[in-house]
């Protein structure tokens, strides 16, 4: 009771966006001690608190014990691998995971994203790259927490910051003040047959219409990627642009990250919504639908 009142009178104590001020703890799971210590040292230099684990079981135990705010997770580990670690940890508590893999194997990456990892790095990577990804991931989680704290569309009043990629930015100022679900219809299908609904306020994605509507459970990164594409439907966005907008990261060598996340999104919402333009990028192949039209189509 007393604690609750104290918290109410001290907004900073409960502010979800306080990651920059509060000490954010990061669990580093890596079985090469030199690399593990180098990563941890760099994270500490950035102001993070760190915990270390060198194998699968230790990673799960340390995560349970210290409840880290983020996990940097190597895939190849003694005991059981990073994918299994991710499954076990995520089953208990949602925590952002940056997966690190030495294998240049796409199926491995896709599997990592499927087990609940939010982003990944392929070895070898630079410390600068790692730190950029950590900050980007924390910012994304922070945005999601703010949405959660702010509630749904009802409380999304004037001055609310649009939470997702800049796709919903300039030109849609009214939408940004009160983010309404964006609705799309697959090109070439009749009304009600193939609908896609993206709700920026609740960060939810639904497929289909009316009673046959199913929710697609996207990770925060996958949601931002889809929302970015949806901000400019039928327009090809380059991998570099998507990297910059979704990952806050301007380095073209990371474009395979975009490819893997697109694959993961396709698995969840259906393959044909996102068109690949080989050598260039991706486009959402769908027609925006006004709210009223969807009501008419789906109900
Ligand atoms: Ca390893």
Q: Structurally, what CATH architecture does the domain formed by 11-125 represent?
A: 3-Layer(aba) Sandwich (3.40)
Sign of CA dihedral 296, 270, 268, 156: negative
Report the alpha-carbon distance of residue 257 to residue 240 in Å, rounded: 10
In 3D, which of 207, 147, 200, 197 has the Cα closest to residue 172? 200
Q: For residue 244, how many other CB atoms are within 10 A of its CB?
A: 18
103 CA → ligand 1 middle, Å: 10
Report the alpha-carbon distance of residue 153 to residue 147 in Å, rounded: 10
54 CA → ligand 1 middle, Å: 9
36 CA → ligand 1 middle, Å: 10
* Mean pLDDT confidence for 87-91: 90
Q: Which pLDDT does position 240 carry in this prediction? A: 86
pLDDT > 70? residue 196:
yes
Percent of the chain predicted with pLDDT > 70 = 72
The beta strands (E) that lie in 147-262 are given as 182-186, 195-199, 204-207, 214-216, 237-238
**Structure confidence by residue, pLDDT tens digits, 262-288:** 998 999 999 889 999 998 999 999 888
Q: Which pLDDT does position 229 carry in this prediction? A: 95
pLDDT > 60? residue 19:
no
Report the alpha-carbon distance of residue 118 to residue 142 in Å, rounded: 14
pLDDT band at 236 (very low <50, low <70, confident <90, very high): very high
CATH number of 153-298: 1.10.10.10
69 CA → ligand 1 middle, Å: 22
Tokens of 241: 């642009």
DSSP assignments along 55-107, one per residue? SHHHHHHHHHHH--SEEEEESS-SSS-HHHHHHHHHHHS---EEEEES---HH
Sign of CA dihedral 49, 52, 56, 61: negative
**3-state secondary structure (DSSP) of residue 140:** helix
149 CA → ligand 1 middle, Å: 37
38 CA → ligand 1 middle, Å: 14
29 CA → ligand 1 middle, Å: 9
**Structure confidence by residue, pLDDT tens digits, 28-67:** 999 999 999 999 999 999 999 999 999 999 999 999 999 9
* Mean pLDDT confidence for 215-225: 87
105 CA → ligand 1 middle, Å: 15
Mean per-residue pLDDT of the chain: 77
| Cα angle: 99, vertex 283, 201; to 5 degrees | 70
Q: Which pLDDT does position 71 carry in this prediction? A: 97
pLDDT > 50? residue 13:
no
Those residues whose C-beta lies under 8 Å from the C-beta of residue 251, and which sit 6 or more positions away, are 129, 243
135 CA → ligand 1 middle, Å: 23
In 3D, which of 271, 272, 244 has the Cα closest to residue 257? 244
SS3 content of the chain, % helix, strand, coil (to 5): 50, 20, 30
123 CA → ligand 1 middle, Å: 10
Between 101 and 296, where is the model more confident? 101
**3-state secondary structure (DSSP) of residue 290:** coil
* Mean pLDDT confidence for 203-224: 85
Q: Domain ranges in the chain?
A: 11-125, 153-298
Q: Are strands 49-53 and 25-29 parallel, antiparallel or unpaired?
A: parallel
225 CA → ligand 1 middle, Å: 29
Tokens of 181: 């679900």
71 CA → ligand 1 middle, Å: 15
- Strongest mean pLDDT among 102-106, 168-172, 292-296: 102-106
Helical pair 239-247 and 255-269, crossing angle rounded to 10 deg: 80
* Mean pLDDT confidence for 219-236: 90
* Mean pLDDT confidence for 82-92: 91
Q: Which pLDDT does position 189 carry in this prediction? A: 59
76 CA → ligand 1 middle, Å: 4
For 50, 229, 273, 292, the CA distances from 267, given in Å and listed in that order, are 34, 16, 11, 29
Report the alpha-carbon distance of residue 227 to residue 221 in Å, rounded: 10
Residues with CB under 5 A from ligand 1 (ion): 31, 74, 76
93 CA → ligand 1 middle, Å: 24
pLDDT band at 126 (very low <50, low <70, confident <90, very high): confident
Between 156 and 109, where is the model more confident? 109
């Amino acid at each position: 009771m007393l604690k609750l009142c104290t918290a109410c009178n001290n907004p900073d104590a409960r502010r979800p966006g306080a990651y920059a001020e509060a000490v954010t703890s990061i669990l580093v799971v890596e079985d090469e001690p030199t690399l593990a210590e180098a990563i941890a040292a760099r994270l500490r230099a950035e102001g993070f608190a760190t915990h270390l684990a060198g194998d699968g079981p230790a990673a799960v135990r340390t995560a349970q014990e210290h409840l880290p705010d983020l996990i940097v997770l190597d895939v190849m580990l003694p005991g059981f691998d990073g994918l299994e670690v991710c499954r076990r940890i995520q089953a208990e508590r949602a925590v952002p995971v940056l997966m690190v893999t030495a294998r240049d194997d796409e199926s491995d990456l896709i599997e990592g994203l499927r087990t609940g990892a939010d982003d990944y790095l392929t070895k070898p990577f630079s410390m600068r790259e790692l730190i950029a990804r950590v900050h980007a991931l924390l910012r994304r989680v922070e945005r999601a927490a703010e949405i959660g704290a702010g509630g749904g569309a009802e409380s999304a009043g004037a001055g609310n910051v649009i939470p997702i990629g800049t796709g919903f930015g300039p030109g849609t100022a009214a939408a940004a003040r009160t983010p309404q679900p964006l609705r799309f219809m697959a090109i070439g299908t009749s009304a009600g047959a193939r609908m896609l609904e993206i709700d920026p306020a609740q960060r939810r994605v639904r497929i289909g219409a009316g009673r046959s509507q199913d929710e697609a459970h996207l990770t925060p990164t996958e949601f931002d990627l889809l929302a970015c594409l949806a901000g400019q439907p039928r327009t090809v966005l380059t991998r570099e642009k998507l990297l910059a907008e979704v990952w806050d990261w301007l380095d073209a060598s990371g474009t395979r990250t975009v490819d893997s996340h697109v694959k993961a999104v396709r698995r969840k919402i259906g393959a044909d919504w996102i068109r690949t333009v080989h050598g260039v990028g991706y486009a959402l192949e769908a027609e925006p639908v006004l709210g009223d039209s969807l009501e008419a189509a789906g109900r």
